[in-house]
Amino acid sequence: MKHLLKNWMGAGMLLLASSLVAQTKTPVYQNLNAPIEDRIEDALLRMTLEEKVAMIHAQSKFCSPGVARLGIPENWTSDGPHGIRAEVFWDEWDQAGWTNDSCMAFPALTCLAATWNPEMASLYGKSIGEEARYRNKNILLGPGVNIYRLPLNGRNFEYMGEDPYLASKMVVPYIQGVQKNHVAACVKHYALNNQELDRDHINVNVSDRALYEIYLPAFKAAVQEGGAWAIMGAYNQYKNQHSCHNQYLLNDILKRDWKFDGVVISDWGGVHNTNESIHNGLDMEFGSWTNGLTWSASNAYDNYYLAVPYLNLLRSGKEDVKILDEKVRRVLRLIFRTNMAPTRSFGSFVSDEHRLAGRTIAEEGIVLLQNKNNVLPVDVNKTRKIAVIGENAIKMMTIGGGSSSLKAKYETSPLKGIQDRAAKNNVEVVYERGYVGETSAQQDGMSVADIKDDRSAEQLLNDAINAAKTADWVIFVGGLNKHEFQDSEGNDRKTMDLPYGQDKLISELVKANPKTAVVILSGNAVSMPWVNQVPAIVETWYNGSEAGSALASILFGDVNPSGKLPFSFPVNLKDNGAIALGAYPGDNKNVTYSEDILVGYRWHDTKKIKPLFAFGHGLSYTQFAYGKLSINKKAIAQGEKLTVAIPVKNIGQRAGAEIVQLYIRDEKSSLPRPEKELKGFSKINLQAGEEKTVTFTIEPEMLQFYDDRQGAWVAEPGKFEVLIGASAVDIRQKVDFNLQ
């Protein structure tokens, strides 16, 4: 009996010891070396129904819960895509008043696109990803790749222009740069977001061709080439379903066809229905205003469509937990890729490297639109006084614009940048306002510089003219700003014209001093009735903390401008397709873009409408000569490739960079096609007198169009033409070939 008892006790102690070892053994989901899918399944098995539902909706304005019991961290989002937004209170939109959340403001994405340089996109993503990581954000709400269809969209400044190929090539390295920091890039706004007016409900009608050829390529590249870990749905509807829970966009295209394994996140307030939210592809719900609650209501999170309403359906058996589990898998996958990744750096914040990155991107993206008689750069040897005129020379531009508004550590204004640079050569700089636009002391909950001016409009104009008369050079700094009905989320522009009487002021300044350069700050095209009067025009975008320094380096010639437009500047509004055909803004319920695939330069080319400044246009302080275009074969078959090569030489007196653009024309097709389409580009740096050969590879996929009769991409045999140019209208060389 004692022997049996001893054996029983020994076995019991062994079982107890084994149990203790099992309890102290690291769970699979916490094992950083285990395959990520094994970690997901292990964590999922350990979670309660309530914990699963909690994980797929917000618990504050900008975060969603993890599972504290299991040591799974929360998800923290930050508005991007131009910098890490200031902290707000947990349950309010107001600024939290932190003293250590002032970020580096990077240039707007229109500027990044204008660099036409994927290396700059990679640098941008790496830098902003480091800032997000430092602030412990694991989801960056950006970048934006919605297509620029018309110059009234208040949110165009957040996007990458009108061409799907350019946007595709720029978004991929941005995403990869961000996610190297174990921060998820959340690409937005998927899809068809063209206007802020009626944005929360407008149903966008486009053909399948327009959807697949124009709107989807950048998102597809973001998923399949960039490996994006998150996608944000748009506010608008498509096929009468809101984009944040849309069967066609999310389940059919994104998840089924593209094999997206990341998280679909709603835009704030973009969810409208529990049933559709469950079944139509949404994974995480943020910022909803449910049950009639206003947008500022507190502690409304249990009322969210994917919160208690969903939980009750699951408890009653009316919804299958398998659908919930798939959503939670995606959220866990995101957490294991970010907050619970095996290796994760600490990041960095407003570092010298980030300052340099911001300035370099801005300098590469600034576009020299016009430079008659080479009046720029400013010749400091012949200049003793410069008159800087215009409100935008002193106005803060990092604040405002909606969700991209930033609390920047610093912002160098154009005036300060010009003053600092001029001082190096003892050039005097005088400033006059010229006009008064917005003078509010507060914007987006933050204080802005006091720029009130009590002078009358007439006095402001006269003082500016007098300053111009006595200066060797006039630099007018105007354009748009980030207030409502300009470049700002929530409202569209009402006109293409410059506000606050700037057109009259510019005309008067040129009369007073012909040596006048006009600098436009904007994220949109503007009309320029004075274009033939002004010798020099510069588009400088919203360039963040280093805006003024970058602008000055271009104006004074320290950096040779190399940016080119990522969208067309029409002469006037009626030259835009959506306006000409009466599509925009729709009837409050639907908008139908009957110009279809003819967006931007595709419209101008096909309809033979001359733009003010063409897509891809941008000048340099040097000149480039294009040699003879060569092609390695005159015919290819399906599956084959061909190469084209063209020598480009810097024939000027200083180093510079040229963006060589490749377009393709289909001579004859069964469906109408644009006159030509961008299918390649290369930015090359050349010393004075240097020549390089630029080579492009053409593959049959580049010749395809989407045939909505078949629901498939097709490349029809026949004759094609390769066009190489410096812009969409400046074509230097052509060569044809046949697809057999």
Q: What is the DSSP letter of 569?
A: B
544-563: buried (b, 16+ CB within 10 Å) or exposed (e) per residue?
A: bbbbbbbbbbbbbeebbbbb
- 79, 267, 492, 605: the catalytic one is 267
- How many other C-beta atoms can be found within 10 angstroms of the C-beta atom of residue 707? 17
Beta bridge partners of 624: 650
Rg of the chain, C-alpha, whole Å: 28
456-494: buried (b, 16+ CB within 10 Å) or exposed (e) per residue?
A: eeeebbeebbebbeebbbbbbbbbbbbbbbbbbbebbbe
- CA 517 to CA 498: how far, in whole Å? 16
Both tokens of residue 45? 């098995």
How far is Cα of residue 373 from the mean position of the Cα atoms in its chain? 35
The DSSP H or E segment spanning 13 is: helix 2-24
Length of the chain equals: 740
Both tokens of residue 624? 């480039």
- CA 54 to CA 307: how far, in whole Å? 7
Q: Is the CA virtual torsion 670, 671, 675, 676 positive or negative? A: negative
Find out whether 136 and 443 touch, Cβ atoms under 8 Å. Answer: no
Place of tokens 């190096």: 424
For residue 118, give the nearest of 539, 681, 697 by alpha carbon: 681
Find out whether 166 and 113 touch, Cβ atoms under 8 Å. Answer: yes
3-state secondary structure of 40: helix
Find out whether 544 and 83 touch, Cβ atoms under 8 Å. Answer: yes
- DSSP for 404-471, please give it: T---BS----HHHHHHHHHHTTT-EEEEE--------SEETTEE-------S-HHHHHHHHHHHHHT-
Find out whether 138 and 183 touch, Cβ atoms under 8 Å. Answer: yes
Q: Is the CA virtual torsion 93, 230, 119, 681 positive or negative? A: negative
Peptide bond into 700 cis (omega under 30): no
Both tokens of residue 113? 């696109």
Place of tokens 């960039």: 226
Clarify whether 267 is annotated catalytic. yes
Q: What is the DSSP letter of 116?
A: T
Q: In Å, what is the CA distance from 153 to each residue of 3, 369, 436, 514, 525?
A: 87, 22, 24, 34, 10
- CA 691 to CA 685: how far, in whole Å? 10
- CA 463 to CA 368: how far, in whole Å? 28
How far is Cα of residue 400 from the mean position of the Cα atoms in its chain? 16
Both tokens of residue 386? 């410069």
Both tokens of residue 104? 């580096």
Both tokens of residue 374? 């080479």
Find out whether 617 and 564 touch, Cβ atoms under 8 Å. Answer: yes
Q: Return the amino acid letter for 79.
A: D
Find out whether 537 and 106 touch, Cβ atoms under 8 Å. Answer: no
What is the set of active-site residues? Answer: 267
